[in-house]
Amino acid sequence: MTKQRSSASGDTDYVVIMAGGAGRRLWPLSRQNRPKHLLPLFGGKSLMQLCYDRVSGLVEPDQILVLTNRLFVDGIREAIPDLPKDNLIAEPEIRDTAAAIGLAATIVSRENPDAAMAVVTADQLIEPAEDFQTAARDALHFVNDHPQALVTFAIKPTYASTQFGYIKLGPVAQYDGCINPFSPVAAFKEKPNEATALQYVADGGYAWNSGMFVWKAATILNHLRANLPAAIEPLEAIGKAWKGRGRNQALQAWFGKIPKISIDYAVMERAPEVYAIRLDCRWHDLGSFAALAEVIELDGQRNLVIAERRELLDCRDNIVISDRPDHLVACLGAKNMLVVHSDDATLVCPIEEAGRLKELLDRIQKSTGEKYL
């Protein structure tokens, strides 16, 4: 990787924001029709808005695509009104990341056969934005000069997490003209048990798998053609109809026929030229209420409080959240409790029991159906 970087043109670069997940681990704030990335928990802004602001520094609005669940379309339009109407794409059903990325790559390659694309997710907090933009620009330049390469973003572990997949990194190499170093990816590792996670962190040669990527649109489609051939006929049918009146009909008819599999299983674990660029900044995958405590300032008693009307007396180490500005949340003598209030449901439990939320939601679904989900 010593080749001099060419001057990649920004008009060949695109950003794809994956915004389809609902995030049940933040219930009752997040729901089937109100995903966690639309919750205004960060100084009045949502993760969706922060993500859009972050990638807007890379490309123009008409070079940003957002793929989402059909239930979230109105919320995303409200959150990011600058996004062109046709650039918000509602998937008719959930088919995992290989289908979503294949669809995005098909659309991008129709716009520009030589385009590079960065794939990011809407539910991550990345600060400062400038550090992410630097790494993303480096990665885009790299794939424009190495069109067969696939790049993923590697996150330095800050603790032995069992909730993330890991990447085993090869030797670090500096690419001329890029600020951030690259490493070949030696292996992708599944979410480990605690003992294995501790080994990975102690080794120093492993990073968290961020689920963000950069590649040429044509290159990822070629990999899908080789490794997931059943996806090609649906993608080509959608692509042929994309610019015409039959776009929505083709999407409805063909998208559900794409195999349901992640891009990691379908492509990344099999591809020969996979590199990781190290993203050295504050990165959080906010999949739980406890994770919010890592990014939102606590009060003097180590309570995380997001509520306009609240009174806490002799309370410590709690998480208290309300999305109703006219509702008072009052707590007395509470310790290590999670209290989350929404319009039609309230969750109360010890923080250490929050990992059982899926079990609780299954019971709620059996007793009340989909009403509160």
Is the pLDDT score of 7 beyond 80? Answer: no
10-287 adopts what CATH topology? Spore Coat Polysaccharide Biosynthesis Protein SpsA; Chain A (3.90.550)
Indicate the burial class of 6 (C-beta count within 10 angstroms; 0-12, 13-18, 19 or more).
exposed
Is the torsion defined by CA of 56, 51, 9, 183 positive or negative?
positive
Range of lowest pLDDT (143-157, 191-205, 289-303, 319-333): 289-303
Q: Give the CA distances from residue 287 to residues 26, 123, 256, 357, in Å, rounded to whole numbers and listed in that order.
A: 7, 8, 26, 12
Q: pTM above 0.85?
A: yes
| pLDDT at residue 318 in the model | 96
The domain limits of the chain are: 10-287, 299-368
Concatenated DSSP letters of 53-78: HHHHTTS-GGGEEEEEEGGGHHHHHH
d(CA 314, CA 323): 23
Is the pLDDT score of 228 beyond 50? Answer: yes
Task: Using alpha carbons, select from 117, 113, 149, 121 the residue that is nearest to residue 136.
Answer: 117
| pLDDT at residue 199 in the model | 95
Model confidence at 205, pLDDT cuts 50, 70, 90, reads very high
Model confidence at 4, pLDDT cuts 50, 70, 90, reads very low
pLDDT in tens, 23-36: 677 899 888 878 88
| pLDDT at residue 11 in the model | 60
Q: For the packed helices 217-227 and 96-111, what is the interaxial angle rounded to 10 degrees?
A: 130
- The DSSP secondary-structure symbol of 10 reads G
Mean pLDDT score, 318-328: 92
